[in-house]
């Protein structure tokens, strides 16, 4: 007697497969990138951030502190690497600080 093959998958795989096939997949990724900004850089940066938006590989962040903007510009490459590492893929190509 043959064993029946199971069609069970972890929920994460099912959701990931659905998101890749769904037209809203890009919006979900964009939203995740925007939320990662505050999560990765901490509350002090998050509180000084006015707007964050992502479009076609460019993450644009508007800050209310020129001093903070200058400090973050020195860490631009590290910030990009950390965001892309958290995402598991290289989606963010450029970071613009305003």
- Is the pLDDT at 3 greater than 60? The verdict is no
Measured CA to CA, the distance from residue 28 to residue 88 in angstroms comes to: 14
pLDDT exceeds 60 at position 61: yes
Q: Is residue 87 part of a domain?
A: yes
Confidence of residue 71 (pLDDT cuts 50, 70, 90): very high
Residue 91, CB-side half-sphere exposure with 13 Å CA sphere: 22
Q: Is residue 32 assigned to a domain?
A: yes
Q: Is residue 35 part of a domain?
A: yes
Q: Are strands 49-55 and 58-63 parallel, antiparallel or unpaired?
A: antiparallel
Identify whether 24 is part of a domain.
yes
Domain holding 50, by residue range, is 11-97
Give domain status of residue 82, yes or no. yes
3 in a structural domain: no
pLDDT at 59: 92
Q: Using only the alpha carbons of the chain, give its radius of gyration.
A: 18
Q: Are 43 and 58 in contact (CB under 8 A)?
A: no
pLDDT tens for 13-51 read 887 777 777 766 677 778 888 888 989 889 999 999 999
- Provide the mean pLDDT of the chain: 85
Please check whether residue 6 lies inside any domain of the structure: no
Q: What confidence score (pLDDT) does residue 93 get?
A: 93
Is the distance from CB of 48 to CB of 65 less than 8 angstroms?
A: yes
Structural domain count, the chain: 1
Global confidence as pTM: 0.72
In a domain, 2, yes or no: no
């Amino acid at each position: 007697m043959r064993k029946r093959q199971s069609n069970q998958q972890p929920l994460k795989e099912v959701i990931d497969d659905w998101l890749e096939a769904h037209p809203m997949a890009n919006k979900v990724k964009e939203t995740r990138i925007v939320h990662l900004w505050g999560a990765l850089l901490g509350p002090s940066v998050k509180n000084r951030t006015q707007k964050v938006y992502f479009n076609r590989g460019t993450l644009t962040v508007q800050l209310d502190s020129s001093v903070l903007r200058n400090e973050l510009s020195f860490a631009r490459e590290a910030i990009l690497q950390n965001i892309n590492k958290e995402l598991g893929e290289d989606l963010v190509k450029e970071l613009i600080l305003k």
